A and B are shown apart, each in its own frame.
Chain A
Amino acid sequence: MTTEIERTPGDPVADPGLQPHQYRPQDVDGAQERRTERQIASMFGLATLLLLGFCVAYFTIDGDMRIFAFGDPAEGNAFGGWSAQNFAFGTTLGGALLLIGIGIIQWAKKLMGDHEMVEMRHPVRSSDGDRSAVMADINAGIQESGIGRRPLIRNSLLGAVGAMGLPAIVLLRDLGPLPHSQAETVWKKGMRVVNDVSGEPIKPADLEVGQLVNAEPAIFFETDDEGHPVVHGHDLLAAKAKAAVIVVRMRPQDITPAKGRENWGVDGILCYSKICTHVGCPISLWEQQTHHLLCPCHQSTFDLADNGKVIFGPAVRSLPQLPLAVDGEGYLVAVSDFPEIVAPSYPELARDQKKLNEKTGGDA
């Protein structure tokens, strides 16, 4: 199978053509061939055994059995802790599959015929005759349909098919409600700031300088007359996604409040939204000495001693601050809802913020 191709000016070396076939040891040596055969068959045999082992493991290994090595699990310094089931199932199944695969390929490589074959390519392009035949057919079709001669039918059909897009879009309308202002959260005047998880209210005296409390509005822990939580399920998650806060205490002399924010804190206790203004991760990586708050998602960094200003990272807006006061029983409460919009920016943010400013009369 040697096809000598003419050497063209662009082609410095002529194609020497397909080289003579070389045989494998298995092709010429019967003993070698039988050895390879046994080798492949034993792979398949072993695979069968492993698959049986899988079934045995399925019925014998207990779900909470774990594999440890080197060290004492009770001390917490042991390596492993792997689920024995997962380990046994995976190694038997994986081993069997690998052996089957390797066996089949070994068969193809070593024993199946391996004479190289040549197949000629043909240009993808059809012949000129075929092309003009197709063009003629298309033309005939267009002519016979009269689509060119009957613009009324053509255009009204195009209009009707185009209009089919309208129901398709309209049908999607109920995917969700129209967006409403996202300026409000559940915080309101006089609502207690309580410890997350436990729901305990917080007294200023409970906080030391350098303290961080991950807090929530008290309404999340309130129950109605029948003992059911007032906010629960999805509503709770949606409300939390905007209302979660952190309360921190710094030395009052370290804080530089902006104009109008001088009385938003209580003895150096300030409250900020926990929701990053970048894309909304909850932030509580607070460095008590530098007063910096770092978002673990994209490293936006806010200075809590300086009104939550952004000092690094992709966030643009400062972290909204919740004005604090103390109620009659001496617990921390919110003075109002956030004067700035919490959570990530959205297109109508500028409009909503303007409305919010007008409502509160503030200039935040």
Chain B
Amino acid sequence: MSQNTFTRVEDSPTGKKLAGPVGWLDDRLGLAAAGKKNLRKVFPEHWSFMLGEIALWSFVVLLLTGVFLTLWFDPSMAEVEYTGSYAPLYGIDMSAAYASTLDISFDIRGGLLMRQIHHWAALLFVAAMIVHMLRVFFTGAYRKPREINWMIGVGLLALGMVEGFAGYSLPDDLLSGTGLRFVDGLIRSIPLVGSYLEFFIFGGEFPGEIIIPRLYMAHILLIPAILLGLIGAHMLLLVYHKHTQWPGAGRTNENVVGYPMLPVYMAKAGGFFFIVFGFLALMGALIQINPVWAYGPYNPSEVTAGSQPDWYMGLSEGLVRLMPPLETTWFNRTWTWSVFLPGVGGLGVLFTSLALWPFIERWITGDTREHHLLERPRNAPVRTALGAAGITAYVVGLIAGGNDIIALKFGLDIFAITWVLRFGLFIFPVIAFIVTKRICISLQRKDNETLTHGWETGVIDRSPDGGYAERHAPLPDTAAYALTGSRERLPELEAETVHKSDAYGVRNPDYRKQSFRQKMRKFYYDGSVDKPTSHDMDHASEHLAGGGEHPVVLGDDFQGVSETGVPRVH
């Protein structure tokens, strides 16, 4: 089965068959040059590199199921009397949009399944984008040269949320109408131009008769087209930059080690599409989502307890719930801060800081090199801790967005939850920052310990004077390299003090900027432990070699021992 037994392609039946079409295409498109480079392009393998693929494939599922839904959905707010087969709404006046959603759910075979898959895929799309983004963030994969791709990713996330919200609003049921009512209040709260935007967007006073057709256009044409373009650019850049990889034996900043696109990744990625689609189809078959028929048609004088947006809007929703009342009257105008600040500001701060982070970090570290090896989260303690603080604040917002459900299900006082979270929004992230940073530094210390002292063997020596000591075995080179390969050496901060003026008393014009940067550098590197030097390693290996002790024989598979002294095996 070794590769030497392969027949030459030209001689194989497939080769003979394919040569014709490939030649025909190349005569017209000249693709062979590009194909030569890319068909066998190497991708490194790691489970965390598939997270973005979940988002990609759920987007494809959204396109497929979405096209199916457009065949019957009627994006009109015209009033109709429902006569379809869902009896409890028989004879009720409703918009054509809602009636057609009911038809898709009850009178089109497979319509309910497609609606449910579509909605699950939408929730998954945003969730997978966030998980993928967290992986990129915590491993430093956004560093040069990938900053532009990071920003495209931030744009995709923002657009994905808008796209999801537009879709959530289309069925014109009581829940989606309540969501639109909230957006109306949010638009109104924009200082000075709020009423103008409201009247232009809704075509008059809320709810008007045109918002759903407009959202429909945005949902099925405008935003998907931009999403598609950005996804294309995202993937082209991925191919162009070549994927990052984890450090390991033979894997350096200058190469990429893995399997070829054709056939392995073609199969793995293609297979994963079927898995994502199949998984979503099963969710659509077994778990009910957005039962619009239960909510009833939108009516501005009705509301249901537990009115929530889909989860990705939970942050905005939660911040709006947490905000204490604040409204001012300036220049004979009303400024509604209690809606505007959390509703528009929360996501604004999130996306701005996400988009700027690579540049802020680069300004702090002054690192201008290209990075293709991933950094372990522990080796950038402040970055990791900031990420953890951000996640904590986000989760506080999400919990606040569901505070009524939490109060109901856990028998808590809804006002008490709100008060705890009002303070928690500021306190919990700080705690998360401190704890995460300390954990990272401890893990760095543990790595150093492993590097210099090797693995515990579980073999206990008793010395002539009665003392007990455990033998350590040196770490194999592969493992030691994996631990140190992408770990950055710390800069020497003491050498970089900034002076107000130089030795001749000339004022340093950039003093404030430089000293601020200096402070940020101290903050960024504070507490981090440097990796051992070559000297440390030489010293340690001498020590481990032992003087005159009889050697311990360890198998090839030996990977150290567990806490209880049992050898770990690969």
Q: Which residues of A contact B (CB under 8 A)?
A: 1-3, 5, 7, 9-19, 27-28, 33, 58, 63-64, 83, 85-87, 89-91, 93-105, 107-109, 112-121, 123-124, 172, 175-179, 182, 196, 214, 216, 232-234, 237-238, 240-241, 244, 274-275, 278-285, 296-299, 310, 312-317, 344-351, 354
Contact of B566 with A by CB under 8 A: no
Counting chain B CB atoms within 10 Å of each CB, the highest count among A1, A10, A196 belongs to A10
Q: Please tell me if the beta carbons of B258 and A117 are within 8 angstroms of each other in the complex.
A: yes
Chain A to chain B contacts (Cβ below 8 Å), 30 pairs: A13-B484, A14-B477, A18-B257, A94-B283, A97-B274, A97-B281, A101-B277, A104-B267, A108-B268, A117-B42, A123-B370, A124-B145, A124-B241, A172-B200, A176-B208, A177-B203, A179-B195, A240-B301, A244-B300, A281-B178, A282-B301, A283-B303, A296-B306, A298-B321, A299-B321, A299-B403, A312-B418, A344-B184, A347-B188, A350-B333
Known: A63-B109, A98-B282, A237-B207. Is A15-B250 also a contact (CB below 8 A)? yes
B113, B304, B305: most-surrounded residue (chain A CB, <10 A): B113
Chain B residues numbered 508-546 whose CB sits less than 8 Å from any CB in chain A: 531-534, 536-537
Residues in B neighbouring A27, C-beta threshold 8 A: 1
Q: Which residues of A contact B267 (CB under 8 A)?
A: 104-105, 107-108, 112
Listed in ascending order, the chain B residues whose CB lies under 8 Å from chain A are 1, 3, 40-42, 77-79, 85, 106-107, 109-110, 112-113, 116-117, 145, 178, 181-182, 184-186, 188-196, 198-209, 241-242, 249-250, 252-260, 263-264, 267-268, 270-286, 298-307, 317, 320-327, 329, 332-336, 338-339, 342, 370, 372, 403-404, 414-415, 418, 451, 477-478, 480-481, 483-485, 489, 531-534, 536-537
Complex alpha-carbon distance, A182 and B334, angstroms: 14
Check if B321 sits within 8 Å of A314, measured CB to CB. yes
**Bound CA span A312–B338, Å:** 13
**Judging by beta carbons under 8 Å apart, are A97 and B182 in contact?**
no
Chain B neighbourhood of A279, CB < 8 A: 181-182, 184-186, 189, 320, 339
Taken together as a complex, chains A and B put the C-alpha atoms of A240 and B285 apart, in Å, by 38
Q: Please report the C-alpha to C-alpha distance between residue A241 and residue B320 in the assembled complex, in whole angstroms.
A: 21
A241 to B279, CA, bound (A): 41
- The 7 A-B residue pairs with the shortest CB-CB distance in the complex, in nearest-first order: A90-B285, A279-B185, A101-B274, A18-B250, A97-B278, A94-B281, A98-B278
Cα distance A175–B242 in the bound complex, in angstroms: 45
Q: A63-B85, A117-B259 are in contact. Are A346 and B334 (CB under 8 A)?
A: yes
Q: Across the interface, name the chain B residue whose C-beta is closest to A312.
A: B415
**Contact for A86 among B116, B199, B483, CB less than 8 A:** B116
Shortest CB-to-CB span from B396 to chain A, Å, is 16
Of A63, A313, A315, chain B has the most CB atoms within 10 Å of the CB of: A313
Instruction: Using A13-B480, A13-B537 as known contacts, say yes or no to A345 and B329 having CB atoms under 8 A apart.
Output: no
**Apart from A63-B107, A105-B272, 4 more pairs, CB < 8 Å:** A3-B250, A14-B481, A113-B3, A314-B320
> What are the residues of chain A within 8 A of B193 when measuring CB–CB?
347
- Contacting pair A175 B307 (CB below 8 A): no
With A and B bound together, what is the CA distance between A194 and B403 in angstroms? 34
Q: Which residues of A contact B301 (CB under 8 A)?
A: 196, 214, 216, 240-241, 244, 274, 282
Alpha-carbon gap, A13 to B278, bound state (A): 45
A325–B414 Cα gap in the complex (Å)?
A: 37
- Report Cα–Cα, A109/B255, bound state, in Å: 23
A15 near B274: Cβ-Cβ < 8 Å? no
| Contact status of A297 and B303, CB under 8 A, knowing A17-B249, A117-B257, A348-B333 | yes
A-side contacts of B79, CB under 8 Å: 232-234
Partner of A314, one of B85, B116, B206, B324: B324
Q: How far is the CB of A92 from chain B (nearest CB, A)?
A: 9
* In the complex, chain B residues whose CB is within 8 Å of the CB of A182: 195, 205
Known: A90-B286, A117-B40, A232-B79. A351 touches B110 (CB 8 A): no
Cα(A113)–Cα(B286), bound, Å: 38
User: Please, which residues of chain A bring their CB within 8 A of the CB of B317?
Assistant: 298
Across the interface, do B191 and A314 meet the contact criterion of CB distance under 8 Å? no
A116 & B259 in contact (Cβ 8 Å cutoff): yes
Write the nearest CB–CB distance from A231 to chain B, whole angstroms. 12
Cα–Cα distance between A116 and B190 once the two chains are bound (Å):
56
Contacting residues, chain B, for A109 (C-beta < 8 A): 268
A299, B302: Cα distance in complex, Å: 16
Contact of A12 among B186, B270, B335, B537 (CB under 8 A): B537
Task: Give CA–CA (A102, B275) in the complex, Å.
Answer: 7
In the complex with contacts A85-B110, A347-B194, A119-B282 CB distance below 8 A: no
Bound-complex Cα distance A25 to B393 (A):
48
When distances are taken between beta carbons in the complex, the residues of chain B under 8 Å from A85 are 109-110, 112-113
| A83 to B106 alpha-carbon distance, docked (Å) | 9
By the criterion CB–CB under 8 Å, are B299 and A237 in contact? Answer: yes
- A123: chain B residues at CB < 8 Å are 370
CB of B203 within 8 A of CB of A100, answer: no
Interface residue from B195, B200, B207, B483 paired with A347 (Cβ < 8 Å): B195
Contact A314 B339 (CB under 8 A): yes
* A93 lies within 8 A of B113 (CB): yes
A315 proximity list for chain B (CB < 8 A):
325, 338
Chain A contacts for B285, CB-based, 8 A = 86-87, 89-91, 93-94
Given contacts A12-B536, A280-B181, A347-B191, contact A354 B332 (CB under 8 A): yes
Min CB distance, B475 to chain A, in Å?
A: 9
A114 touching B259 in the complex, CB below 8 Å, given contacts A19-B249, A103-B271:
yes
Evaluate contact between A241 and B477: CB separation under 8 angstroms: no
CB distance from B281 to the nearest CB of A (A): 3
Decide if B327 touches A119 in the complex (CB within 8 Å): no
- B333 / chain A contacts, CB cutoff of 8 Å: 347-348, 350-351
Residues of B within 8 A of A313 (CB): 321, 325, 418
Please state if A102 and B271 are interface contacts (CB–CB under 8 Å).
yes
Bound CA span A17–B193, Å:
63
With the chains together, A93 CA to B204 CA distance in Å? 45
